[in-house]
């Protein structure tokens, strides 16, 4: 699997188009403790779930039973990750992307949706831009069908997890979930998450959070380093995944909640699902900027 590297004197980003168009490394090169893994190093990844970050297209997280009602018609999309009983993370993460433009500090990848996966035709694009400040990552989707389609996008970054790693996120409420990780009701946010730095090892989460203000932060005290996560206002929610006894965790800016199409059809407000008209484009972006925490 051939990778593509973007680099400058401060950072390097390595992308694998054939592995779901994923990032497989993002390193801080000129930190005193360099190299600092701003995302986990996955250059030897054999599966996209081992990557550093992958795109969620044309929906994020899960669609219950792979079935949804849209504009009074029932559609299905394949259950794509057994034994999951939901369709998960869209389809582009399990497909090869095409490189359309490359320079020292920018890469553009595209992906054409497949008819067997999604009942609406679309094309998606990822733009990775590296500057002296860090990485800017944009994902867009264009509806190529002749009807309005439900659309959603998201990022799935994996951060290194040390014993004292902390995080904070600007969020308002949390979706409680059932044993299949599907949302059940809105509840309060764990104490401290949106007010002060919460130690990652002290919480076990796999939940969506509403009212995401587009800002989060990770710090690694042992490394005297950290990273800020800034997202576009089209990322209305965030998913936080802190699995027990793992060496990673995820803070995922996304445009909609889990099972958003079905919840919206049930009358739930604020799901974030985007009705995308024919030839309309929808996009999100995320900036990952390294910091020296004080």
Question: What's the mean pLDDT in 66-77?
Answer: 96
| Predicted structure pTM score | 0.97
What residues form DSSP beta bridges with 99?
Answer: 109
CA distance 166 to 148: 41
What is the reported pLDDT for 191? 78
The answer to whether residue 30 scores a pLDDT higher than 70 is: yes
Each residue of 101-159: pLDDT tens digit? 999 999 999 999 999 999 999 999 999 999 999 999 999 999 999 999 999 999 999 99
What is the reported pLDDT for 294? 65
């Amino acid at each position: 699997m051939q990778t593509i590297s973007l680099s400058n004197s401060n950072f390097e980003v390595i992308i694998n188009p054939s592995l779901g168009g994923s990032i497989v490394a993002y390193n801080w090169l000129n930190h005193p403790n360099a190299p600092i893994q701003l995302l986990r190093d996955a250059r030897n990844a054999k599966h996209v779930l081992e990557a550093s970050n992958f795109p969620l297209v044309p929906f994020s997280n899960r669609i219950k039973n792979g079935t949804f009602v849209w504009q009074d018609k029932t559609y299905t999309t394949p259950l794509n990750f057994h034994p999951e009983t939901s369709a998960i993370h869209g389809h582009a993460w399990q497909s090869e992307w095409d490189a359309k433009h490359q320079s020292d500090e920018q890469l553009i990848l595209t992906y054409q949706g497949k008819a067997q996966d999604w009942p609406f035709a679309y094309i998606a694009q990822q733009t990775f831009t590296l500057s002296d400040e860090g990485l800017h990552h944009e994902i867009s989707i264009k509806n190529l069908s002749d009807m309005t389609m439900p659309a959603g996008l998201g990022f799935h970054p994996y951060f290194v997890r040390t014993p004292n790693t902390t995080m904070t996120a600007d969020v308002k409420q949390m979706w409680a979930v059932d044993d299949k990780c599907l949302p059940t009701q809105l509840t309060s946010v764990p104490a401290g998450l949106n007010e002060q730095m919460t130690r990652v090892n002290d919480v076990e989460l796999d939940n969506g959070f509403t009212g995401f203000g587009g800002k989060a932060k990770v710090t690694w005290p042992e490394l005297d380093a950290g990273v800020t996560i800034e997202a576009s206002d089209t990322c209305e929610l965030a998913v936080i995944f802190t699995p027990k006894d793992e060496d990673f965790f995820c803070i995922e800016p996304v445009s909609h909640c889990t099972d958003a199409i079905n919840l919206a059809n049930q009358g739930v407000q604020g799901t974030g699902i985007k009705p995308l008209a024919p030839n309309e484009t929808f996009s999100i972006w995320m900036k990952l900027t390294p910091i020296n925490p004080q």
